């Protein structure tokens, strides 16, 4: 089944308009979600709209409100909300270009693939793609979707383009508020050199397929076993995780880093063998396994 376009319209650069189609670059089916079930009957639980002190109410009695203070709401009618929605324009105008490194990763929200809508659009599409690549720039604009306006960034992606929705400035928390209690002391030079050496040895090109979500894999196996089990038998499997131990002083850190550097092989330089898949949970550090002196 062909993917359904998230948005269809045109990208405009000055007087040039390029018809395009935008598709979601992520899949929701990879995640596992649960429903709440009434155990005695085996039926799914539904939810009633309830008002404290009143009980269940009819849906036609529900309106939208914004809380301006505790328990105080500004009530908005549907036609009032509709009146301020942005007109769904079919044009994404690129109004600014920036270096890719200028956009903090905190602002990136969701990726989409962009492809030319037809053969006639292909030439202009390729020119824009290669111009962005040659300049090393990312295009910025605002995309109107379902009455809302999304800030987006556009950059080359293989033979196509990648559009990423961005968070607006007021949607991002400033990190410094969480870092104020961290001291300003410089780390010990030998410790820093050891940690840097370890990072260099573990450096390799990023390949997402080398990482697996162990929790999702285990859930799928559990669901398969449970579906085949008779009488709804309970299935419990213990994960083999080493116990946490103490050991957080500088002597332990120095010894752990030295041991890690000596034991670590340079990434991607195994003796002709395919490297084992990495796990999302990661491996515990040597200091977690070493008892405190």
Q: What is the CATH number of the domain that holds 140?
A: 2.40.290.10
Which residue carries 């929705």 as its tokens? 165
Domain presence at residue 107:
yes
Number of domains in the chain: 1
Looking at residue 251, its pLDDT comes to: 60
Among 157, 138, 142, 140, which residue's Cα sits nearest to residue 99?
138
Question: pTM value?
Answer: 0.68
- pLDDT tens for 156-201 read 999 999 999 999 999 999 888 898 889 889 988 988 998 999 888 8
Domain presence at residue 275:
no
More confidently predicted of 292 and 36: 36
Domain range spanning residue 127? Answer: 7-27+86-171
Provide mean pLDDT across the span 246-257. 68
Looking at residue 167, its pLDDT comes to: 95
- pLDDT tens for 59-102 read 888 989 989 899 899 988 888 887 776 666 788 999 999 998 99
Domain presence at residue 22:
yes
Beta bridge partners of residue 114, listed in sequence order: 22, 161
Q: Give yes or no for residue 13 having a pLDDT over 70.
A: yes
Q: Give yes or no for residue 244 having a pLDDT over 70.
A: no
Domain presence at residue 112:
yes
Domain presence at residue 92:
yes
Domain presence at residue 140:
yes
Rounded CA-CA distance 254/285 in Å is 12
Alpha-carbon Rg of the chain, whole angstroms?
A: 27
Domain presence at residue 250:
no
Rounded CA-CA distance 282/261 in Å is 17
Which residue carries 């009032």 as its tokens? 80
Rounded CA-CA distance 252/102 in Å is 39
Backbone phi, then psi, for 104, in 5-degree steps? -65, 135
Mean of all residue pLDDT scores within the chain: 82
Domain presence at residue 167:
yes
């Amino acid at each position: 089944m062909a993917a359904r376009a998230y948005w269809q319209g045109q990208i405009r650069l000055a007087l040039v308009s390029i018809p395009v189609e935008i598709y979601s670059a992520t899949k929701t089916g990879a995640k596992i979600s649960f429903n709440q079930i009434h155990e005695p009957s085996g039926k799914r639980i539904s939810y009633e709209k309830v008002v404290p002190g009143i009980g269940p109410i009819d849906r036609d009695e529900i309106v939208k409100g914004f809380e301006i203070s505790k328990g105080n709401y500004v009530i908005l009618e549907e036609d009032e909300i509709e009146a301020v929605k942005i007109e769904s324009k079919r044009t994404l105008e690129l109004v600014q270009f920036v270096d890719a490194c200028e956009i903090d990763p905190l602002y990136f929200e969701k990726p989409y693939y962009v492809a030319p809508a037809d053969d006639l659009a292909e030439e202009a599409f390729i020119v824009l793609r290669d111009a962005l690549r040659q300049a090393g720039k990312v295009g910025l604009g605002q995309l109107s979707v379902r009455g809302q306006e999304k800030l987006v960034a556009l950059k080359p992606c293989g033979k196509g383009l990648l559009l990423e929705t961005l968070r607006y400035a007021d949607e991002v928390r400033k990190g410094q508020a969480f870092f104020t209690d961290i001291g300003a002391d410089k780390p010990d030079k030998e410790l820093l050199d050891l940690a840097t050496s370890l990072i260099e040895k573990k450096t390799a090109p990023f390949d997402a397929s080398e990482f697996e979500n162990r929790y999702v894999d285990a859930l799928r196996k559990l669901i398969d076993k449970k579906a085949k089990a008779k009488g709804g038998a309970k299935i419990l499997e213990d994960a083999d995780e080493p116990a946490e131990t103490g050991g957080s002083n500088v002597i332990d850190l120095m010894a752990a880093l030295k041991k890690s550097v000596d034991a670590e092989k340079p990434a991607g330089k195994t003796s002709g063998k395919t490297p084992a898949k990495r796990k999302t949970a990661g491996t515990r550090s040597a200091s977690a396994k070493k008892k405190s002196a």
